[in-house]
Amino acid sequence: MIDYKYLAQKYDTPLYLYDFEKIENSFLSLKNAFKGRKSLIAYAVKANSNLSVLKHLASLGTGADCVSIGEVKRALLAGIPSYKIVFSGVGKRDEEIEEALKLDILYINLESEAELQRVEDIAAQLGKKARVSIRVNPNIDPKTHPYISTGLHENKFGVEIDTAKKMYLAAKKSNFLDPVGIHFHIGSQLTELEPIKEASAIVADLVRSLHKIDIEIKFFDIGGGLGIKYDNEETIKPYDYAQAILATLKGLDLTIVCEPGRYIVGDAGYFLTKVLYEKKSGDKRFIIVDGGMNDLLRPSLYNAYHKVEVIGKTGDETPADVVGPVCESGDFFAKNRPLPSTSPGDIIVVYSAGAYGFVMSSNYNTRPRPAEVALFKGSDRLIRKRETFEDIIKNEIELMDE
Ligand SMILES: *Cc1c(COP(=O)(O)O)cnc(C)c1O
């Protein structure tokens, strides 16, 4: 049991807690699901990029899926070797591509013909051969929230099959490109297996046709997206996930690269916030807390559901909204939830806050970002200091009076 009250007192609120054992267990369950096959679990750094989290994952042998050169640097700093790092994302600056090539990472995921050209030019300037993979958009509806759907032609990600073929041919001809991988990622918080299966089958067929023309793809990158339980949704079991993918790869000898983010860290995170007071507005009951949308954006951004609990309180439950102090009506953590009556100082836990939590935080309303604490082997350790007012303003330059 986690002593939320003690931790809230020791580190103050709002606060993020990460259970490192849970992170480890999630990683192992996925790694084991692909046992017997060559596989690389490349953790999607964007989900939670705290260096201590990355270091813990590095010690378990994970790779990293990065979407900026900053994330690549974080991964390296945490001890993830360059040959386990992939670089994805729909827009990469020249400097980022150059640095990725110099760092000799596993491969760069290309998302357009224009990008292929850019990477080829930069590799030529550096006299290097760039290992690349192409992100294919299989035009599959992942049946998730539209903001986190990425595998439809209407989304900005990847290229169509025909374009991909053209790109592979161009890459094969080039002296500066080495097409080693193929990639797809159809969305996030996936809870249905069927769309993943369909996408994988489409991409596997493309691999077969590429093999026929001597384009030897080695890495089959299935992206991330495995969903977790926020409420009572059914989720995909790692074993079923692996079996579904492997079934589409009959006769192909490929290394599977998987890029889970949320699945690894989501469940392992808790957001603690303190009750400031309650108020009524007509029939509506509000619990006002010291955490806000600047600390945990998911409810405001995606209307995402997170389980919440008032620690140590029982008794009659009546519907309430849990809202933050930020000056936006969208600043809420929970709506219309049966909750016991609260007093100032009570601690509320927001569950499943380990992924896309702190990393999406901001200083909106000049609010310092929260501290982060690791729970590891029975002890708690600060892994990121709470920001101060001075931290927030330190890069601002005052306009001088003339
Ligand atoms: C965001 C992203 C992931 C991770 O998604 P999760 O839903 O957190 O697993 C993996 N691969 C790519 C390319 C991404 O953009």
pLDDT band at 145 (very low <50, low <70, confident <90, very high): low
Given a cut of 80, is residue 151 above it in pLDDT? no
162 and 277 share one domain: no
Ligand 1 center to 293 CA (angstroms):
22
pLDDT, position 158: 84
User: pTM for this structure?
Assistant: 0.95
- Asked if 305 and 54 count as a contact pair (C-beta separation under 8 A), the reply is no
In this prediction, residues 51-60 reach a mean pLDDT of: 98
Residue 338 is part of which domain span? 4-15+267-393
pLDDT band at 122 (very low <50, low <70, confident <90, very high): very high
247 and 328 share one domain: no
Given a cut of 90, is residue 398 above it in pLDDT? no
pLDDT, position 148: 63
- Asked if 321 and 330 count as a contact pair (C-beta separation under 8 A), the reply is no
- Residue to mutate, 62, 65, 144, 148, ligand 1, most ligand atoms under 8 Å from C-beta: 65
**Amino acid identity, residue 204?**
A
pLDDT, position 374: 98
Pair type for strands 219-221 and 255-258: parallel
- Residue to mutate, 30, 188, 258, ligand 1, most ligand atoms under 8 Å from C-beta: 188
Rounded mean pLDDT of the chain?
95
pLDDT band at 147 (very low <50, low <70, confident <90, very high): low
Give the residue among 367, 399, 402, 401 at the shortest CA–CA distance from 386: 367
Ligand 1 center to 224 CA (angstroms):
5
| Pocket residues: Cβ below 6 A from ligand 1 | 44, 46-47, 65, 88, 185, 188, 223-226, 259-263, 355
In this prediction, residues 243-269 reach a mean pLDDT of: 96
In this prediction, residues 254-269 reach a mean pLDDT of: 98
- Residue to mutate, 144, 155, 259, 265, ligand 1, most ligand atoms under 8 Å from C-beta: 259
Domain boundary among 263, 296, 315: 263
Q: Is 258 a catalytic residue?
A: no
pLDDT, position 243: 95
In this prediction, residues 132-152 reach a mean pLDDT of: 78
Q: Is residue 398 part of a domain?
A: no
In this prediction, residues 61-80 reach a mean pLDDT of: 98
Given a cut of 90, is residue 52 above it in pLDDT? yes
Specify the CATH number for the domain of residue 278.
2.40.37.10
How many Å from the N-terminal Cα to the C-terminal Cα in the chain?
61
Given the residues 35, 173, 282, 327, the one annotated as active site:
327
Q: Is residue 399 part of a domain?
A: no
172 and 276 share one domain: no
Given a cut of 90, is residue 401 above it in pLDDT? no
In this prediction, residues 87-92 reach a mean pLDDT of: 92
Provide the domain count of the chain. 2
254 and 350 share one domain: no
Q: Is residue 401 part of a domain?
A: no
Ligand 1 center to 240 CA (angstroms):
19
Q: What is the pLDDT of residues 308-342, one digit of tens each?
A: 999 999 889 999 999 999 988 899 999 999 999 99
In this prediction, residues 233-260 reach a mean pLDDT of: 95
Give the residue among 271, 282, 255, 258 at the shortest CA–CA distance from 360: 271
Q: What is the pLDDT of residues 202-241, one digit of tens each?
A: 999 999 999 999 999 999 999 999 999 999 999 999 999 9
Of all atoms in ligand 1, which is nearest to the CA of residue 67? 15
Ligand 1 center to 2 CA (angstroms):
29
Structure tokens given for 147: 């903001």
- Alpha helix segments (H runs only) across 174-237: 193-212
Domain boundary among 195, 230, 263: 263
